[in-house]
Amino acid sequence: MAIEKLWLLLNSNGRFILSIEKNSCEFLDYGKHKVKVFPDDLRKTIILLKNSGFNIENVIETEFANIISSTKNGGVIMNFEQCRIVPLNDEYISEMSTWQYDAPYEAYSFRVEGYLMNKDIWGIEQFCMIYENIVLGQVACQFDNNNNNMWVGWSLNPAYCGKGMGKEFISRCVDELCRIKNYKKGNIYLRVASWNKRAIKCYEKAGFKYYKTILDEIAGTGKQEDFYVMQIAASTN
């Protein structure tokens, strides 16, 4: 994303000033040509800046624009012991709806619909991982028919993908789910597309091992493909 590229270009503590014009016009009229306007959303822009590693210093509203002053922090530094799992709510869902993943992971971009929007299971099967004021990831769990084994899944905020924190994120998700569910025995299972080598590598680092291959689909794609089922014993995480 453009904001992440700007973060990479800036020195530590470098300042980035962004002006978002208050233009309610649907088109810009240049005589013979009209250009459709797609105005930026102030709230979503602030969320993107925070998630990309910027500290918001100030937001100034003028007659014609909102001006955001931000600085680049020194890097992505997180104390995962301070991360916690909390129930989903409308605010977190609204933020997750902005999550878009770069190729080849675009199939994982969020679709705020179906199972995810069943509020009856928020805090039971559907959670999110929070670090300070950052929504770090979406987290889910279910139990098999005998309640002996727990199936888990998660999505890391795309602003933090590829930044070397996958193992810590996974381990913290498992620890928090076991704590919330008081789950101390049995196995923990997950499924992952066989082509998703980045995720598989992270799972292996976190202690998960290959169990078997099944046919399944990434939600919303309608495409059956090979998935690896991986497992870890609850007592070893």
Q: pLDDT by residue (tens digit) across 8-46?
A: 677 767 889 999 888 767 777 777 777 776 667 888 888
Q: Dihedral of the CA atoms 55, 57, 60, 65 (nearest 10)?
A: -30
Residue 42: what pLDDT?
86
Going by C-alpha positions, the residue among 17, 13, 18, 134 that lies closest to residue 72 is 13
What is the rounded distance in angstroms from the CA atom of residue 103 to the CA atom of residue 39?
Answer: 25
Q: Confirm if 149 and 234 have CB atoms less than 8 A apart.
A: no
The yes-or-no verdict on residue 213 having pLDDT over 70 is yes
Q: pLDDT band at 182, cuts 50/70/90?
A: very high
Q: pLDDT band at 237, cuts 50/70/90?
A: low
Number of H-type helices and E-type strands within the chain: 5, 12
Least confident residue range of 65-69, 81-85, 131-135: 131-135
Q: Confirm if 131 and 173 have CB atoms less than 8 A apart.
A: no
Each residue's pLDDT tens digit, 150-165: 999 999 998 888 877 8
The yes-or-no verdict on residue 85 having pLDDT over 60 is yes
Q: How many CA atoms lie less than 13 Å away from 64 in the CB half-sphere?
A: 0
Q: How many CA atoms lie less than 13 Å away from 70 in the CB half-sphere?
A: 25
Q: pLDDT band at 169, cuts 50/70/90?
A: very high
104: phi then psi, degrees, rounded to nearest 5: -95, 20
Radius of gyration of the chain (CA): 20
Residue 128: what pLDDT?
95
CATH superfamily, region 80-236: Gcn5-related N-acetyltransferase (GNAT) (3.40.630.30)
How far lies 176's CA from each of 16, 18, 90, in Å?
Answer: 36, 37, 21
Residue 190: what pLDDT?
97
60: phi then psi, degrees, rounded to nearest 5: -110, 130
CATH 3.40.630.30 residue ranges of the chain are 80-236
Least confident residue range of 39-43, 106-110, 117-121, 152-156: 39-43
The yes-or-no verdict on residue 235 having pLDDT over 80 is no
Q: For residue 55, what are its two tokens? A: 């500290």
Q: Which residues fall within 8 angstroms of residue 74, CB to CB, at 6 or more apart?
A: 12, 13
Q: What is the mean pLDDT of the chain?
A: 86
Q: pLDDT band at 139, cuts 50/70/90?
A: very high
